[in-house]
Structures are given as structure tokens and as C-alpha cells.
């Protein structure tokens, strides 16, 4: 008896990644069509999924699907004290409604038997996995021996799970096929840690921004700023920048002297380094210079040998990629990631 065809929806974190995955897994045969979101097309091809003939739909989101915010009633600064924001009700809104990402996910999930999540393999990517599932998990059908995904994506695959997580570290043919052959599951605990961080950032950031904006406006009447913002991450970073600026401003140049000498060995001129490095007292440096100049020969007191080893280059992760492009090509982080 012929096996029935299953439908697999695969979701990446950005359109370029979805296109690369589809092209690699389809061996270049994937077809592209428009979707509910003009920013995120859908790539389709046929193949095999866990021993069954399958139709694949590969699409993407554009970063986070949802963002956290307070209910509109807390937006009035004059009626809501800053401390009330630590207990105020919050809600999740679509991050960019104009992109219609939720409608895209829901449209493509209809009739799908499985979903494979190709989000970035970091905490934010794990969180986006569950944002994607929250958007359309109720629309996946539970046929082909699978359970309805609403029962929870964290269940074991042996029970007929419909949700799968691809773990990969590079967009190469070898790595993509390896990830497709060793699918796991998204980690809800990691996703919840991002939820907690987002809520803390929202509550602390908004409460302190409102507090210090009011304080500074009352204390400094001529303040040329409508908003004095506070960020749990940006503020400590600003403190480092200010401390460094203060050290640079307070720095006073001071003259110093160093010795430069060389010796000739078998016809080769070898430069020598002064162990002391430099002297801030000219008389001390002059005394050493005269002592050295009075001798025409040098004695080797010790020879040290140590083996050198050239390490294998590390994988080019996102941070190293941005460093390399910035140093070698003069590209900014946004241009590199685009």
C-alpha cells in the first residue's frame, strides 16, 4: 500500500535563510510563490520526511513575531505613577502588523502535518519558536499518527510529535542536511527565560524612564530633552563609556625615554628590547645609555625555547563575522546582517 503524502511547514528567522534552506534541501528545485506577507515568500518542493513522501513549504518570520507592552490605560504619564508599572497588566501585540506575519503563519499552517522550526540557535531564537507556535499551532492537523500540537511542543518525539526543532551553526549544505537528519524539539524553559527578561526590561525601563524624565525636567528647567530614557542594559554600558571618557579627559601626557640597541650576530643585525621598557626620568635613562655605549660586546645569559602551535581557526559565528567585515570591508553591523 502506497504511503500517503505528508505536508511539512518549515519556518526560518529571516527570508534569506528560508531561501537558502529550501534551495539546499531541494537540491535547487524549490519553487517560490508569494504569501500573505510581501516580505516573506514561500518556497515549495517535494521530498521525503521521516520515511514518507512529503510536500515542503519553507517560509520565515522577520525576527520576533510579538512584542510586550502595557495596556493602553497605563500610557498616561500624568495619571499613572512610575511605581505602578511594576504591577501593571501587560499584553502581547504583533511586532509589525504591516508585515502580516501572523496571517502568513496561519495560512501556511492550514493542512500541514508537521512544522520544523529553523530559528536561530540562541535564546531569542528559542523564544521566537514558541511565538511561531502560538500563532498557528491550533491549525495543524493531527493525522499521520501525530497528536495535535496544542498538547505541547515539549513532548517526546516517540509519541508522534508534530513540532520539530533544527539545530544548526552555519548555512552550509553539510550543516543543513545534518540538522535535518537530527531534528530535536524546542526548549520551553529557554523561551520562558526570554519572556522574563522582556518583562523585566519593559517594567524597569519604563518605570525609571518616567521617573528620571520627570525628575530632570523639574530639577533642570532648561533641559533640552523631552525624554530621559533608561535601559537595564544601555545604562551600565553608558557608565563604562563615561568612565573611559573621564580617564581620557583627565589624562596628562608625560615624556619618557627608552633605550634602543642592537647586536650583530653572524652578519645579521638583531634589535634588543630593554627589559625595563621605558624611564620617566631622563637622568636615569641617560645613565643606562652611557653604560651600554661603553661596551662593544654582549653576553648571552640564557636561551629559552618553547614550541609554537597554530590553532585551528574557530567557526565564523555572527560576532566574528561582523568583526571581520568591519575590519576588512568597513561594513557596519546592519549591512553585514542584511
DSSP per residue, 166-179 = ---SS-SHHHHHHH
pLDDT value of position 2 = 54
Find, among 201, 238, 183, the residue nearest to 10 by Cα: 183
Distance CA 338, CA 335 (A): 5
Confidence band for 312, pLDDT divided at 50, 70 and 90:
confident
pLDDT value of position 3 = 64
pLDDT value of position 129 = 97
Q: What is the separation of C-alpha 247 from the centre of its chain, rounded to a whole number of angstroms?
A: 31
Name the DSSP letter for residue 140.
S
Would the pTM of this model clear 0.85, i.e. be above it?
Answer: no
Higher-scoring residue by pLDDT: 312, 203: 203
Tens digit of each residue's pLDDT (9 = 90 or more) over 238-289 = 899 999 999 999 999 999 999 988 888 888 998 988 888 899 999 999 999 9
Distance CA 9, CA 111 (A): 9
Distance CA 12, CA 182 (A): 17
| Planar angle of CA 66, 238, 197, nearest 5 degrees | 30
100 Rama sector, left if φ>0, alpha if ψ -120 to 50, beta otherwise = left
Tens digit of each residue's pLDDT (9 = 90 or more) over 181-239 = 999 999 999 999 999 999 999 999 999 999 999 888 888 877 777 888 888 788 888 89
Confidence band for 301, pLDDT divided at 50, 70 and 90:
confident
Own/partner contacts of 29-38, CB < 8 Å, gap of 24 or more, are: 30/58, 35/59, 35/104, 35/107, 35/108, 36/100, 36/103, 36/104, 36/107, 37/99, 37/100, 37/101, 37/103, 37/104, 38/99
Confidence band for 151, pLDDT divided at 50, 70 and 90:
very low
Find, among 40, 41, 37, 12, the residue nearest to 25 by Cα: 12
- Per the CB < 8 A criterion, the answer to whether 26 and 45 are in contact is yes
Distance CA 19, CA 278 (A): 58
Q: 242 is written with which cell numbers?
A: 563615561
Confidence band for 319, pLDDT divided at 50, 70 and 90:
confident
Strand-strand pairing, 42-49 and 31-33? antiparallel
pLDDT above 90 for 42: yes
User: Which of 5-19, 257-271, 282-296, 308-322 reaches the highest mean pLDDT?
Assistant: 5-19
- The size of the chain, in residues, is 338
pLDDT value of position 155 = 41
Distance CA 36, CA 57 (A): 14
| Planar angle of CA 302, 303, 304, nearest 5 degrees | 120
| Burial of 333: CB neighbours in 10 Å, binned 0-12, 13-18, 19+ | middle
Q: What are the Cα distances from residue 153, in Å, to 34, 91, 129, 137?
A: 28, 23, 10, 9
Amino acid at each position: 500500500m502506497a504511503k500517503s503524502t505528508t505536508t511539512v511547514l518549515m519556518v526560518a528567522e529571516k527570508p534569506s535563510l528560508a531561501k537558502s534552506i529550501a534551495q539546499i534541501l531541494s537540491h535547487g528545485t524549490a519553487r517560490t510563490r508569494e504569501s500573505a506577507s510581501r516580505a516573506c515568500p514561500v518556497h515549495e518542493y517535494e521530498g521525503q520526511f521521516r520515511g514518507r513522501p512529503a510536500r515542503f513549504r519553507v517560509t520565515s518570520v522577520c525576527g520576533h513575531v510579538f512584542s510586550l507592552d502595557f495596556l493602553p490605560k497605563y500610557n498616561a504619564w500624568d495619571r499613572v505613577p512610575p511605581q505602578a508599572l511594576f504591577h501593571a497588566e501587560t499584553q502581547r501585540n504583533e511586532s509589525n502588523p504591516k508585515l502580516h506575519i501572523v496571517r502568513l503563519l496561519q495560512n501556511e499552517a492550514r493542512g500541514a502535518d508537521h512544522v520544523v522550526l529553523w530559528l536561530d540557535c540562541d535564546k531569542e531564537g528559542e523564544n521566537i519558536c514558541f511565538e511561531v507556535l502560538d500563532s498557528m499551532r491550533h491549525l495543524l492537523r493531527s493525522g499521520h499518527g501525530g497528536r495535535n500540537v496544542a498538547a505541547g511542543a515539549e513532548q517526546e518525539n516517540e509519541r508522534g510529535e508534530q513540532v520539530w526543532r533544527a539545530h544548526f551553526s552555519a548555512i552550509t549544505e553539510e550543516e543543513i542536511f545534518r540538522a535535518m537528519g537530527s531534528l530535536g524539539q524546542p526548549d520551553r524553559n529557554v523561551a520562558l527565560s526570554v519572556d522574563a527578561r522582556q518583562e523585566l526590561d519593559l517594567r524597569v525601563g519604563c518605570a525609571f524612564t518616567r521617573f528620571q524624565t520627570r525628575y530632570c525636567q523639574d530639577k533642570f528647567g532648561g533641559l533640552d530633552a523631552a525624554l530621559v530614557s533608561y535601559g537595564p542594559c544601555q545604562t551600565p554600558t553608558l557608565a563604562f563609556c563615561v568612565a573611559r571618557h573621564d580617564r581620557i579627559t583627565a589624562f596628562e601626557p608625560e615624556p619618557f625615554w627608552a633605550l634602543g640597541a642592537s647586536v650583530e650576530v653572524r652578519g645579521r643585525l638583531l634589535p634588543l628590547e630593554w627589559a625595563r621598557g621605558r624611564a620617566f626620568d631622563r637622568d636615569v635613562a641617560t645613565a643606562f645609555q652611557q653604560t651600554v655605549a661603553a661596551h662593544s660586546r654582549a653576553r648571552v645569559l640564557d636561551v629559552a625555547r618553547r614550541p609554537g602551535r597554530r590553532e585551528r581557526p574557530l567557526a565564523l559565528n555572527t560576532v566574528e563575522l561582523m568583526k571581520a567585515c568591519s575590519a576588512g570591508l568597513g561594513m557596519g553591523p546592519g549591512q553585514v546582517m542584511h
